[in-house]
Amino acid sequence: MNLALWLERAGKSHAACPALATGTRVVRSYGEAAMRVARLADALRSQLHLKPGDRVAIAAKNSVDYFETLYAIWHAGLAAVPANAKLHGAELGFILEHSGARVCIASKGLDAEIAPHAPKSLERMIVIGSREYENLFSADAIAPAPREGSDLAWLFYTSGTTGRPKGAMLTHRNLAQSSFAYLTEVDPASPQDPILHAAPMSHGSGLYIMPHVMRLGVNVVPESGGFEPEEIFSLFKAWPRASMFAAPTMVKRLVESAADCPSENIRTIIWGGAPMYFEDALRALERFGPRLAQIYGQGESPMTITNLSKGDIAGREHPRWRERLASAGKPYACLDVKVVDEEGRDLPPNEAGEIVCRGDVVMPGYWNNPEATASSLKDGWLHTGDVGAYDTDGYLTLKDRSKDLIISGGSNIYPREVEEVLLKHPAVREVSVIGRPDKEWGEVVVAYVAGEAKAGELDALCLNAIARFKRPKDYVFIDALPKNNYGKILKTELRAMDEKRVSRPLS
């Protein structure tokens, strides 16, 4: 059940087919990639003396080398610990120590960032592109190590917005199931279909490497190694039928970009990682047409809980199309997904509760964290911490994270509902709603807004669309909202900013 078998088989059966590209240039065929991976795997085992189950960290920017390193780790029977290259050295040091990684393979420059924080358990730091790294490929090619479906393949560290990140243990079976789900329900791929990796390969985009290897696709990394709208449009021109995973903030930047390419060149733009506001989704659909898909998942159930298909997003003829476009779609076939109350009882349609799920794609637990595992996995169900509600057609709408719920005067207020209204104002670029502690009401609603709108205009919008008790009692205008490395708005930072703001004495 070793995921590396998919690459080895492709290298044998379709050796000449392009596998890896940088920008518009093909740099590896499947035969070449499979051979390099088999040689690097041997070096990991014979030269670095790693044994099956050992963890190897990858702290690297997107590149063809990232792909080869990831597959070599699996080929050797080891477990990968991909870490976001944008993290601080101290954060990377924590991941290295917590995972017990014996070796870290890093991009040039990141080694120096990590070095002051490297734990004693780390035996080797190898820099991609160095002579030491390239010499590893002179080893003999070996066959993929036997692995069980339950063996650890990927330690997926959460973004850690509410404390230390946790390592979700993803097995070979978990990743295989998520790949099957992607190809079946989100983005059917054919041989030689490209996937653009503009989002971090350590997280969302990296999970789509595997299905494209399975289908003999081409994994394409931008020359910049990241996301620049003009470059992405040029790559869509160069690689017809390309797909790309993007956070909602990335999709919004594509929509707003003056650059362009023929829409028919785009196979699918898949958004996920955070909810897309209705107005933003509508603008994306107007620009790109029926080429958008949405996924909802977590690191603990990698990219796979529900999905909203291209047909549903583009299906304007349906009488409930607007409601569906605002939803997260329907559960994947490989999962049970329920909405439950605080006692774990199933809730009927249109009642909000916590989203829970179970299936072969769900992690078996957190690495070396039995308390967090017991808190998140109860009776076989993953408790996501997200609040949502089904409609009568079986579509799931996300309300908010449970910790973001605002309770004012005994009434529940979901920030996203208020944010959706505020974003209808053309002068609002982005907005985030939080609760501010209040002696009389418990909490009051506060909106942090980036844009040129006036508070009175926003108040009028709210009074025309939602109940009076839900409207913000204060509007705070700032240049930009704080975000983490994946583009998610950090409400924890906003709450800290707000606490300082209200406690500051008046001048």
Question: What would the pLDDT profile of 353-389 be if each residue is shown by its tens digit?
Answer: 999 999 999 999 999 999 999 999 999 999 998 989 9
Which residues belong to CATH 3.40.50.12780 in the chain?
Answer: 4-390
pLDDT at 76 over 50: yes
Would the pTM count as exceeding 0.75? yes
Long-range contacts of 189-193 (CB under 8 A, 24+ apart): 189/215, 189/217, 189/243, 189/267, 190/215, 190/241, 191/14, 191/17, 191/215, 191/216, 191/217, 192/17, 192/18, 192/216, 192/217, 192/218, 193/217, 193/218, 193/241, 193/242, 193/243, 193/267
Average pLDDT (430-451) is 89
According to the model, what pLDDT value does residue 162 have? 46
Beta-carbon count within 10 A of 53 CB: 12
According to the model, what pLDDT value does residue 179 have? 98
Q: Is 54 helix (H, G, I), strand (E, B) or coil?
A: coil
Q: Which of 34-43, 56-65, 414-423 has the lowest mean pLDDT?
A: 414-423
DSSP string across 309-365: -HHHHH-TTSTTHHHHHTS--EE-TTEEEEEE-TTSPBPPTT--EEEEEEETTS-S-
Q: Are strands 292-298 and 266-271 parallel, antiparallel or unpaired?
A: parallel
d(CA 55, CA 105) in angstroms, rounded, equals: 11
Average pLDDT (445-465) is 92
Q: What is the mean pLDDT of the chain?
A: 92
Average pLDDT (331-356) is 95
Top-confidence range, 70-74, 163-167, 350-354: 70-74
Give percent of the chain above pLDDT 70: 97
Between 503 and 51, residue with greater pLDDT: 51
According to the model, what pLDDT value does residue 407 have? 79
Residues 4-390: name the CATH superfamily: ANL, N-terminal domain (3.40.50.12780)
Answer yes or no: are the C-beta atoms of 385 and 300 closer than 8 Å.
no
CATH number of 405-503: 3.30.300.30
Helix (H), strand (E) counts: the chain: 17, 25
According to the model, what pLDDT value does residue 269 have? 97
Which residues belong to CATH 3.30.300.30 in the chain?
Answer: 405-503
According to the model, what pLDDT value does residue 507 have? 46
Q: Are strands 55-59 and 79-83 parallel, antiparallel or unpaired?
A: parallel
Average pLDDT (248-252) is 86
According to the model, what pLDDT value does residue 442 have? 79
